[in-house]
Structure 1
């Protein structure tokens, strides 16, 4: 498999959406894993705008012929500050609306565990490994990864 990381650290959903057409044309992927929105929330940008952008990213990726897996990102809240993270509800809404698979609770469960974080909002190596294992599980469950 050829894996292309089209993400850019610090990007918002608007920036990712702007780069998407070129990435789709250049790489013609069979699968696009969409995990964006955290920087929108951290910068306190509109959740409605982030939802619109993420919906468009998923729609355009699917229109290119790729299968799409959406990855939920935690919601910023007072409970999150106390270590009780939950996925932002917009991810489940988009997945249901577009009838695409969702990798739920991946980041929420990893980032809720201090031993898996390098700081309050980023995983450490062990956290990334646990997230990747969960992602593989979701890919298998949805039939996007067959062994």
Structure 2
């Protein structure tokens, strides 16, 4: 993470708007999610991941966003492939957006928690910062299950001191006009809203990392 923080300090406080040199190391942010992040039913360039990368590029060209999301992915699937994804992409930050498919299938809360916990642990053992993207379920899944499901994300974020987007679809999750005909996957119109939800937390996370390293130096 040292090169990541050094790059951020340089571009935020020394040379905003300065182009990166050819030998400048990149800062890689890997989005590790399901169909909500994998551009299901929409063009890749319209998806929130691409929109987020565009915003990061306005800060500095050193930022690189890798979308390692897979439609239909579960927390177990993510748990099984996170190490390979890390070895392939070498991210500095992982945006972890899994759990929705587990919840829709009624997977045991303990199982979802433990799978996400393992993914977070693997990331942190590899010196990778985690931004956890929370999800919620529709009320027809029952109050007890939906509340326990929602609390998974805040509990993990608190325990492992990760950044947290409380609800990835905040601001439109209850509005059908922002969803495709299946009623599950957001439309192109919703992508900017998702990108904004992530951006608010990610931007703060980056600045906090910079403040921490400056205070320790």
| TM-score, L = length of structure 1 | 0.86
3-state DSSP of counterpart to 2:95: strand
From 188, 196, 199, give the equivalent of 1:136. 199
Question: Is the Cα–Cα contact under 8 Å of residues 7 and 16 in structure 1 kept in the other structure?
Answer: no
For 1:54, which of 116, 121, 124 is the aligned residue? 116
In structure 2, the CA distance between the partners of 1:38 and 1:15, relative to structure 1 (3 Å rule), is same
Distance change (3 Å), C-alpha of 1:3 and 1:106: same
- Max Rg structure: 2
Could you say which residue in structure 1 is the equivalent of 2:184? 121
> Unaligned stretches of 5+ in structure 2?
1-62, 211-217
State whether structure 2 residue 84 is matched by structure 1 residue 29: no
2:172 aligned counterpart, secondary structure: helix
Moved more, 106-115 or 29-38: 106-115
Question: How many angstroms apart in 1 are the aligned matches of 2:137 and 2:159?
Answer: 19
Runs of 5+ in structure 1 lacking a partner?
none
Q: How do residues 72-91 of structure 1 correspond to structure 2 at under 5 angstroms?
A: 72-78=134-140, 88-91=150-153
Higher strand share: 2
Instruction: Name the structure, 1 or 2, with higher relative contact order (CA <8 Å, separation 6+).
Output: 2
**How does the TM-score come out when normalised to structure 2?**
0.60
Distance 1:125 1:90 in 2: 28
Give SS of 2:103's match: helix
Cα offset, 1:108, TM superposition: 4.2
RMSD value, Cα: 2.2
